[in-house]
Structure 1
Amino acid sequence: MTKESKTGYSPGDYGKKRLGAAAWAEINVKNWNRTPENKPQRQPKDGIFPCICFSRQIGVGALKIADLLAERLPFRVIDREILEFMAKEKDLTQKAVEYFDERYPGIMSELFTMLISEKTYLKSDYARQLAKTVTAMAGLEPTIFVGRGTHLILPRDKVLAVRFIAGREYRISRLSGLLGISWEQAENRIKTMDKEQKAFFKSVYQKDEANPDEFDLVVNLRHLKDASQAVELVACAFEQKFGSMA
């Protein structure tokens, strides 16, 4: 559906070594294939865990915040790369759906039917596959989703939707320092990735831009000292909305 960025930078990268999407999927498929007596017993009543969905302007550092927040709550993090991989590998999504169905017989079909009827913008095959992937992942364990508009897919009462923004100069400066490139090079890369992101949302969700009304919380990272402050803001908002997950 989407082309890989030609900028040499994947949105969300901040220097931490992470599992690639294929390795992540391999580990999780093994978990899904565990015998019933070894599978976790914790499960939400209606099949979907309360989750956190991060939407962000390119280059603000949302993935770093997600990783720190996951240690605080704790949740797992599913980023843009994993979502793209799962949405393209239909067999993997099907395995996740089958595991979900084992735990909640019939619920996935009901959830997906409801989503498609309510989220009328999910028209393409890719959009529906992405919706199925995100729904299954949200039903397996508490998750922080980063990117791909997941807050527009999941039931709104199950989501803390957070939008991270920052000024253009902040984003360019951060990318320049992160990659060790000139201001002009960073500016060009930001410009290219902004266009790619806008094209994705137009194609998948028929949206030209992110509307602030979609979110529970909009955080301007330019006005915070570091990522830890953003973590505390989001953790507090989540606990106020859903209570403690401990």
Structure 2
Amino acid sequence: MAAVTATTPEVDAMPDTPGGSRVSRAGAPTRVLLVEDHAMVAEALTAAFAAYPEIELVGCAHSLAEAIPATARERPDVVLLDRRLPDGDGIDAIPVLRAESPGTRVLVFTGDANSAMAARILEARGAGLLLKSGLLGSLVESIRTVAGGEIVVQPELLADALAELAGNSGAPVLTARERQVLTRVAEGKGIDHIAGELELARNTVRNHVQRILTKTGTHSKLEAVAVARRAGLIE
């Protein structure tokens, strides 16, 4: 899919809230609930996913009214959510879906996108935004990525989305080490890379990231980077 993982600055598999997102089980298929009102698209994706053993489609809903109880019942790893549904805007439903299944990641799948839409999704603690015009293999990769705790956003939308999020956040107080870690997160470096560069244990880096999220009052590394940039803590 032409829309790609925003590895800058959201990197490595890390839950977006303390104890919130579950990391996909090693070696197990990612359980996906598809929410799509167009029957032809739903049928095509259902057939296509059958060719990917790493994806287990646990259901297909055609409206928010169907998606909410299905999410509560199936507790999928990922909800692949169409934005425009007969009974509402999928983005508005993200908090409801997450309340029904806190470990579920919600990935919005839409025909068009802009930075304001991306900012709304991130603010709602969604897992990202993908366009329907991309490739199936990249869609599958993105589903697995968000199931592991990362966020997927199109690079061309990311900067403006971060700027919008930063406009709603206050200034945190970070230690020098936390700023070092966050600077490298903003550069797109993963946990292993940061650990090696700073000569720290991998779990120590993860703990620093978690403290950064707590101090900034954010729910993802993308938001934390936005807050820190606005406060002048990192470039």
TM-score (norm 1): 0.30
Name whichever structure is richer in helix by fraction.
Answer: 1
TM-score (norm 2): 0.31
